[in-house]
Amino acid sequence: MDVGVIVTDTHGHFVGSLGREDFHVFDNGSEQTITDFAAIDQPGQIVLLIEAGPAVYLLESSHLKAAYSLLNGLSSNDSVALIHYNNAPQTVLDFTVDKRAVASALQLLQFNLGFGSLNLSSSLSSVVDSLTHVPGKKTIVLLSTGIDTSPENESSLVLQKLKTSGIRLLAVSLVGELRASVSAGKKKSSMERPTPGQQEFAEADQWLRQLAEATGGRAYFPTNTKELRVIYEQISQLVRHEYSLAFAPPSRDGFTHLIEVRVSLPPARALKGSPVFRVDHRQAYLAPPSDKP
C-alpha cells in the first residue's frame, strides 16, 4: 500500500531532508514496517477545479490573476486540466503541459451570477471518478466558496471516495472579500438571491477543511491578493514534492483501514532545534478482499 506524505515546516515550506528512519506508519493504530521509501520529485497531474458562480465572477481580478502564480510555479512537465462547476462539472481544457493554454482558458471562463446551483460534492465526486485511471501523482486544486447545494447523501459519498482515492485535494476559499462585504452590510444587487450570511460561510469553511483533510491536503482561507500569491506558490511546491511510503496491508478483509503517519527524529537530530513539522497524508485505504471463496 502506497501513501504519499507531505511534510512542511512552520512557514509552509516542504521539508526535504528526511529519511526512512524518520517515519512511522500505523494501520488502524498498529505500526507497520515500511517496505519502500522514496523522496519523490516527479511530474504531477493537477486538476484546477473552479466554482463557476458569483464568487469568482466578482473577484476575478484577484483570484484568477493570482492563480497565474500557481501556473508559473509549476514545472514545465506538470500537466494541468481545467474544469469548472455549478450544477455539474464541465471540462474546459484536458490535461496539458502548455501553461499558456491554461492561462488563456482561465481568461475565457464564464460564470453564473446566482448561488442557486453550486453542487460541490456531486461535481467533486464525478471528477474523482474521472481520475481513477489517470496515471501518476494526482492533485485537485479546488477554488470554491465551499457552498454546496448537492443532495445530502452526496457529501458522505464524496468524503469516502476522497479518503481512499490517493488523490490529494488542496482547497482555496473564495469568500475572503465576500465575507468582508457581508460584515459591512453590503449587498450585490446583481445576485439572483442575497449573498450567503456569516453562518453559511462558516459552514462552507468547515466543509472545505473536511474535504481537504480527508486526502491529506490543505484548505486555505486568504483575505487579500498578496496572501493568494503566497498560497499558490506554496501549492506549486506541494503538488510536486512528497515522500512515498509503502507497507504491506496486514489483512485482506475488504474493509476501510485508517492510516496515520508520524515523523519522529532521533534524539541526536531533534536536539538541533526541535523542529515542528506538519504531516499531511490520506486518511484511509480500502484493503484488498480475501482470496478465499
In a domain, 291, yes or no: no
- Specify the pLDDT at position 174: 83
- Specify the pLDDT at position 11: 77
Q: Smallest Cα–Cα separation from 147: which of 120, 112, 183, 114?
A: 120
Can you tell me the distance from the alpha carbon of 182 to that of 44, in angstroms, rounded to the nearest whole number? 38
Q: Smallest Cα–Cα separation from 161: which of 127, 188, 207?
A: 127
In a domain, 292, yes or no: no
Instruction: Provide CB contacts within 8 A for 76, sequence distance 6+.
Output: 97
- Specify the pLDDT at position 190: 42
Tell me the residue range of the domain where 231 lies.
44-238
Is 26 in the same domain as 67? no
Whether pTM exceeds 0.85: no
Is 49 in the same domain as 192? yes
Residue numbers in the chain where pLDDT is lower than 50: 182-194, 271
Is 24 in the same domain as 62? no
Question: What is the DSSP secondary structure assignment for residue 190, as one 8-state letter?
Answer: T
Number of compact structural domains in the chain: 2
Is 219 in the same domain as 136? yes
Can you tell me the distance from the alpha carbon of 48 to that of 235, in angstroms, rounded to the nearest whole number? 12
Can you tell me the distance from the alpha carbon of 167 to that of 170, in angstroms, rounded to the nearest whole number? 10
In a domain, 293, yes or no: no
- Would you put residue 136 in left (φ > 0), alpha (ψ -120 to 50) or beta? left
Is 191 in the same domain as 272? no
Is 202 in the same domain as 262? no
In a domain, 224, yes or no: yes
Is 134 in the same domain as 260? no
- Specify the pLDDT at position 121: 96
In a domain, 163, yes or no: yes
In a domain, 102, yes or no: yes
Beta strands in the chain (DSSP E): 2-8, 23-27, 30-32, 36-41, 44-51, 79-85, 89-96, 137-144, 168-173, 218-220, 241-246, 256-263, 278-281, 284-286
Summarize pLDDT for 196-217 with one digit per residue, the tens: 567 888 899 999 999 999 898 8
Can you tell me the distance from the alpha carbon of 64 to that of 75, in angstroms, rounded to the nearest whole number? 19
Summarize pLDDT for 17-66 with one digit per residue, the tens: 899 999 999 999 999 999 999 887 777 899 999 988 766 655 555 666 66
Is 174 in the same domain as 268? no
Rounded to the nearest 10 degrees, the angle between the axes of helix 120-130 and helix 152-165 is 30
